[in-house]
Amino acid sequence: MDLVSIKKRFGIVGHNAALDRAIEIAVQVAITDLSVLITGESGVGKDNISKIIHQYSSYKHGEYIAVNCGAIPEGTIDSELFGHEKGAFTGATEMRKGYFEVANNGTIFLDEVADLPLPTQARLLRVLENGDFMRVGSSKVLRTKVRVIAATNVNLADRIAKGKFRADLYYRLNSVPIYVPALRERKEDIFLLFTKFASDFSEKYRVPPISLTPNAIELLQEYRWPGNVRELKNITKQISTLEKNRVIDEETLSKYLKKNTLSNLPMIIPSTSTDKNELFERELIYKFLIDMKREMTELKALVNQIIQDEDVNSKIGKTVAIPSTSIESESILHFDEKKSEDSELFEDSVVINEQFSLLDSEKELIKKALKKHNNRRKEAAKELGISERTLYRKIKELDL
């Protein structure tokens, strides 16, 4: 089918190859009964892809119901999807049909499917496998024939690893995957979308459309658009409403983009076990560096004491070598005779060449801790300020 006519019908603007491929897959899979999983960031237009699948499928004459799984409380999601019997729970004053019953021979679009609670996921899996479901509070098995299209903006593989999403449901939903690219991956489409939104707003409210200077267009395309098409549309509306000058320059546009920079700030990610191990390793290195600094201070004090206690004249033209420490630092003291008899006879110059490997130092520190505690890893780990598991891993890595 003609991509241009499909885009026009569903209000899709752009010529990006990845977007075109997503539309092509949607049309191809529409004639089948396969479940589809649409992935992509929030605001990229995943709902448009689901509507294309519905309209070009054999289910197009049935109901099309879009469900935002993240917006329904966990306590009522089963009732919303599968219905309930009268008296099934407090407030259930009458029997209610769920979406799967209402949309029989139609399509259900489950947006943000990753937010479904685990018990609901089990119910959904049963519907997908054989079309069976039961209303909440009922033991009667009902049947439905529904095309299920799911969408998510998170990595379901990570949710599965954390035990928050069923692997069997994932594979059942992901019969055909469709990826919708983010707006920053479609730079060539950003200005086209801006122009369309500005034109739509102008036509709706009968005001002159806004336009951008070349520098403003460049800024528009370089912005990361964390909110994707939805964010672009909102900003276009704001500028169209608030700016009296209908030609928008770079400075004016930047003011509106700065208001939306909160989404670009770094997120605080909860630390994982790997992060903790890295933190322990850094602490181990810091501990070693502090110990090294203390040893160097003691070494300098020893050198000063030698200079004060020894007969200076016996040191003229000689070199006193200090043995290297366990951290492989070498210190050499050079004493030079001054030419002037009225001035002090000598001056000392300490040349310290610190050549050491953090890896070797870490190994040495672990060996000392193990030796001190007779190879008892638990006590050695406590001494080093790291977990026993991390210590065991470091022992294997360092071949101790």
Statement to judge: residues 257 and 312 lie in one domain: no
Tell me the Cα Rg of the chain.
35
Average pLDDT over residues 240-264: 84
**In terms of domains, do 38 and 110 share one?**
yes
pLDDT at 182 over 90: yes
Same domain for 201 and 72 = no
* Arithmetic mean of pLDDT over the chain: 82
Q: Which residues is 349 bridged to in the sheet?
A: 334
In this predicted structure, the answer to whether residue 263 has a pLDDT above a threshold of 60 is no
DSSP letter string over 308-371? Answer: HHS-GGGGTT-EEEEPP-TT-EEEEEEEEE-S-SSS-SEEEEEEEEE---HHHHHHHHHHHHHH
pLDDT band at 400 (very low <50, low <70, confident <90, very high): confident
Residue type for 49, please? I
Reported as a single tens digit per residue, the pLDDT across 131-176 is: 999 999 999 999 999 999 999 999 999 999 999 999 999 999 999 9
Among residues 206, 241, 264, the one where a domain terminates is: 264
Segments forming the whole domain that contains residue 145: 3-181
The phi-psi region of residue 91 (left if phi > 0; otherwise alpha if psi is between -120 and 50; otherwise beta) is: left
The Cβ of residue 16 has, within 10 Å, a number of other Cβ atoms equal to 15
Dihedral sign computed on CA atoms, order 18, 19, 24, 30: positive
Higher pLDDT, 299 or 110: 110
Q: Are 241 and 338 in the same domain?
A: no
One domain for residues 375 and 247: no
Final residue of a structural domain among 264, 287, 320? 264
Same-domain status, 230 and 354? no
* Dihedral pair phi/psi, residue 179, rounded to 5°: -105, 130
In the numeric block, the tokens 């191809």 are attached to: 28
| Global confidence as pTM | 0.64
Question: Any residues with CB less than 8 A from the CB of 262 and at least 6 apart, and which?
Answer: none
| Judgement on whether residues 212 and 167 belong to the same structural domain of the protein | no
Burial class (CB in 10 A: 0-12, 13-18, 19+), 235: buried
pLDDT at site 64: 97
Q: How far is residue 2's CA from residue 26's CA, in Å, rounded to a whole number?
A: 13
Q: Which of 264, 284, 310 is the last residue of a domain?
A: 264
From residue 297, give the alpha-carbon distance in Å to each of 179, 309, 353.
Answer: 60, 18, 15
Are 117 and 198 found together in one domain? no
Q: For residue range 15-70, what is the model confidence (pLDDT) as tens digits?
A: 999 999 999 999 999 999 899 999 999 999 999 999 999 999 999 999 999 999 99
282 and 351 fall within a common domain:
yes
Q: Tell me the pLDDT tens digit for each residue of 348-371.
A: 433 334 444 556 777 778 888 888
Residue 31 CB: number of other CB atoms within 10 A?
11
User: 146 with 7, same domain?
Assistant: yes
The tokens of 330 are what?
A: 């070498």
What is the structure's pLDDT at 260? 63
Residues 177 and 294 in one domain: no
Q: Length of the chain in residues, anyone?
A: 400
Section 243-266 average pLDDT:
78
How many domains does the chain contain in total? 3
Phi, psi of 383 (to 5 degrees): -65, -40
17 and 149, same domain (yes or no): yes
Helices (H), the chain: 3-10, 17-30, 46-55, 77-82, 99-102, 118-130, 156-161, 167-173, 187-205, 214-222, 228-242, 250-258, 273-309, 358-372, 377-384, 388-397
| Buried-state track 33-53, b at ≥16 Cβ within 10 A, e below 16 | eebbbbbbbbbbbbbbbbbbb
Q: What percent of the chain has pLDDT over 70?
A: 76
Q: For residue 240, what is the domain's CATH number?
A: 1.10.8.60
Which among 11, 78, 86 is positioned nearest to 49, based on CA atoms? 11
CATH of the domain at 72: 3.40.50.300
CA atoms of 241 and 24, how far apart (whole Å): 36
